[in-house]
């Protein structure tokens, strides 16, 4: 079988057994990238020389008898807001063009220690602010299922690279749905762990109380494998949780018999495309056939989640992005004095969506408006989290669509920010509550993937993955590959 068609777990097994070398695996992926990347445009930067050197090192260590683990030699990619000391980290923004961090993000370091091979850094909406990749400061990424449609965002390049078989897996970041929504649009598995489960050290901040590193993989077993490699407490991140990390791959086989599933009515109402609703209901029926029990429930504060998010996230972005002043961070623009340095650097370096969110956030935090907007949003966030926690007193998991629509055409929503923001209406509440959730493929609508979102209790990723794995194994339509025209 062609190596790029193997899952990360399958490829890792062949590497361990000596059936293929890391150098052969890397070359297979580099060859695949050479065929499809010009059309998909998933990468901001590639590192074929560095990848080849890493592969040689893995093969040498394995030949010397070292136990390298299940991911050693497996090619992968990182979203370009995760710091890499040997490659630029730009956040797809002109203001950081060419910036090379002096350190690795913790997840970068953990994947290096696991022996994975980094092929490059993937495209995103600038500073992770967007739902389509069209806010990238460089170019949009295209959906491998239909090159005239968006791949979702902001982890667009990571999702598209996995779907197009340019990498075996990738990491992204999820603030309001930026791993799960592109996973749904590209027909792959995207996991946002509980806030604090994975270290944020070296993840360039957008909204610090929401940002979380997540995984994009071909299937649920790969998701469990990669998650196990990156989770765990980190003394470099004060928000990193001290919860013990389960052996996620070993816990996949339990099935769903006896689990109770809540289906929040607010997520299947107005605005959800009929094809999405039909596929989600079919997936829920499949879970019931496997032994779970599902019933309708309510999360009454869901209707306030989007407006709450778009007060809290821009407010935190306004604070976090204040450091990009042309002195501490960011390429300085031509200037006459200090104020023009600040203004010109930000005007030239930040794109329109980033500037929009900075202005929204600064307004929400300003004197006279803090209590009316930001503080009230924090209170509503608490109500949203309480809705979920009350639901979890009755249900083991909650099941919803990941996105109300399938992937939309490039350019369709660029002039209407509100329509763009609605792409995350199903994922934002989960982020506000800090809960774990996975998106997995649940069939096709109009020839495009539909995503099913499974939400769990805090730090109960194991049950989320177990249910997702059971559905994936029992439903052939969850693993449909994208059309081969991408690689033609």
Give per-residue pLDDT as tens, 175-191. 999 999 999 999 999 99
Average pLDDT over residues 302-314: 97
Across the strands, what pairs with 247? none
**What Cα–Cα distance (Å) separates residue 219 from each residue in 80, 334, 408, 461, 474?**
23, 49, 24, 15, 13
> How confident is the model at residue 480, as a pLDDT?
66
**321, part of any domain:** no
Q: Is 16 exposed, middle or buried (0-12, 13-18, 19+ CB in 10 A)?
A: middle
Q: Is 278 exposed, middle or buried (0-12, 13-18, 19+ CB in 10 A)?
A: middle
Q: Is 238 exposed, middle or buried (0-12, 13-18, 19+ CB in 10 A)?
A: exposed
| Contact status, residue 192 vs residue 180, Cβ threshold 8 Å | yes
Question: For the CA atoms of 285, 483, 22, 199, what is the dihedral angle to 10 degrees?
Answer: -50
Domain range for 229? 3-265+393-487
For 281, the enclosing helix (H) or strand (E) is: helix 274-289
Q: Whose CA is closest to 207, among 75, 295, 309?
A: 309
**132, part of any domain:** yes
Average pLDDT over residues 111-120: 98
Q: What is the CATH number for 412?
A: 3.90.1300.10
> Among residues of the chain, what percentage have pLDDT more than 70?
97
| Contact status, residue 20 vs residue 55, Cβ threshold 8 Å | no
Average pLDDT over residues 408-415: 94
**What Cα–Cα distance (Å) separates residue 243 from each residue in 250, 414, 458?**
18, 41, 10
Sequence-ordered alpha helix ranges (H) in 117-209:
156-163, 180-186
φ, ψ at 122 (rounded to 5°): -100, 155
Question: For the CA atoms of 380, 386, 387, 388, what is the dihedral angle to 10 degrees?
Answer: 120
Average pLDDT over residues 439-451: 96
- Helix or strand or coil: residue 238? coil
**344, part of any domain:** no
**45, part of any domain:** yes
pTM for the whole structure? 0.96
113: confidence class by pLDDT, cuts 50, 70, 90: very high
Q: Whose CA is closest to 426, among 153, 130, 149, 177?
A: 177
User: Cβ–Cβ contacts within 10 Å for residue 474, how many?
Assistant: 14
State the residue for tokens 């056939």.
289
Q: Is the dihedral of CA 316, 182, 389, 277 positive or negative?
A: positive
> How confident is the model at residue 478, as a pLDDT?
64
> How confident is the model at residue 336, as a pLDDT?
86
What domain count does the chain have? 1
Query: Is the pLDDT confidence value at 121 over 60?
Result: yes
> Among residues of the chain, what percentage have pLDDT more than 90?
89
Q: Whose CA is closest to 195, among 208, 181, 205?
A: 208
Taking only the tens place, the pLDDT of each residue in 204-218 is: 999 999 999 999 999
> How confident is the model at residue 488, as a pLDDT?
45
Q: What is the DSSP string of 399-414?
A: EEESSSSSPPBTTSST
- Tokens standing for residue 162: 């996995």
> How confident is the model at residue 1, as a pLDDT?
67
Q: Tell me which residues are annotated as active site.
A: 79, 154, 178
Average pLDDT over residues 118-142: 98
**243, part of any domain:** yes
Sequence-ordered alpha helix ranges (H) in 78-212:
106-113, 156-163, 180-186
- Tokens standing for residue 311: 């007060």
**306, part of any domain:** no
Query: Is the pLDDT confidence value at 119 over 50?
Result: yes
**68, part of any domain:** yes
**448, part of any domain:** yes
User: Cβ–Cβ contacts within 10 Å for residue 380, how many?
Assistant: 18
Taking only the tens place, the pLDDT of each residue in 223-268 is: 999 999 999 999 999 999 999 999 999 999 999 999 999 999 999 9
């Amino acid at each position: 079988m062609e190596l790029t068609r193997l899952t990360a777990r399958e490829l890792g097994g062949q590497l361990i057994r000596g059936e293929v070398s890391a150098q052969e695996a890397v070359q297979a992926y580099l060859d695949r990238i050479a065929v499809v990347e010009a059309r998909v445009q998933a990468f901001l930067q590639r590192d074929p020389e560095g990848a080849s050197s890493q592969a040689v090192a893995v093969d040498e260590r394995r030949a010397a008898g070292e136990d390298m683990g299940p991911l050693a030699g497996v090619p992968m990619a990182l979203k370009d807001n995760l710091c890499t000391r040997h490659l630029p980290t730009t956040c797809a923004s002109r203001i950081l063009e060419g910036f090379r961090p002096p350190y690795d993000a913790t997840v970068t370091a953990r994947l290096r220690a696991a022996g994975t091979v980094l092929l490059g850094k993937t495209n995103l909406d600038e500073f992770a602010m967007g739902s389509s990749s069209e806010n990238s400061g460089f170019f949009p990424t295209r959906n491998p299922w239909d090159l005239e449609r968006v791949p979702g965002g902001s982890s667009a390049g990571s999702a598209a690279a996995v779907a197009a078989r340019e990498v075996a897996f990738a990491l992204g970041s999820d603030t309001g749905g930026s791993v799960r929504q592109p996973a749904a649009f590209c027909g792959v598995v995207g996991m946002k762990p509980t806030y604090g489960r994975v270290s944020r050290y070296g993840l360039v901040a957008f909204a610090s109380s929401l940002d979380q590193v997540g995984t994009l993989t071909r299937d649920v077993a790969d998701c469990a494998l990669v998650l196990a490699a990156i989770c765990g407490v980190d003394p470099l991140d004060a928000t990193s949780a001290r919860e013990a990390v389960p052996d996620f791959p070993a816990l996949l086989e339990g099935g769903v018999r006896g689990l109770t599933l809540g289906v929040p009515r607010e997520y299947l109402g107005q605005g959800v495309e009929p094809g999405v609703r039909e596929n989600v209901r079919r997936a829920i029926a499949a879970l019931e056939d496997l032994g779970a029990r599902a019933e309708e429930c309510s999360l009454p504060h869901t209707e306030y989640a989007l407006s709450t998010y778009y007060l809290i996230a821009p407010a935190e972005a306004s604070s976090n992005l204040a450091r990009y002043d042309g002195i501490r961070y960011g390429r300085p623009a031509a200037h006459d004095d200090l104020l023009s340095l600040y203004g010109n650097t930000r005007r030239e370096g930040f794109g329109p969506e980033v500037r929009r969110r900075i202005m929204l956030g600064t307004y929400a935090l300003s004197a006279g408006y803090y209590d009316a907007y930001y503080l009230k949003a924090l209170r509503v966030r608490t109500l949203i989290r309480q809705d979920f926690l009350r639901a979890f007193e009755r249900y083991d998991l909650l099941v919803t669509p990941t996105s109300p629509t399938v992937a939309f055409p490039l350019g369709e929503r660029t002039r209407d920010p509100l329509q763009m923001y609605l792409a995350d209406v199903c994922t934002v509440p989960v982020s506000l509550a800090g809960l774990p959730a996975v998106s997995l493929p649940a069939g096709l609508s109009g020839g495009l993937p539909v995503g099913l979102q499974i939400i769990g209790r805090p730090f109960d990723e194991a049950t989320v993955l177990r249910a997702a794995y059971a559905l994936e194994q029992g439903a052939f339509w969850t693993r449909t590959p994208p059309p081969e025209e991408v690689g033609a």
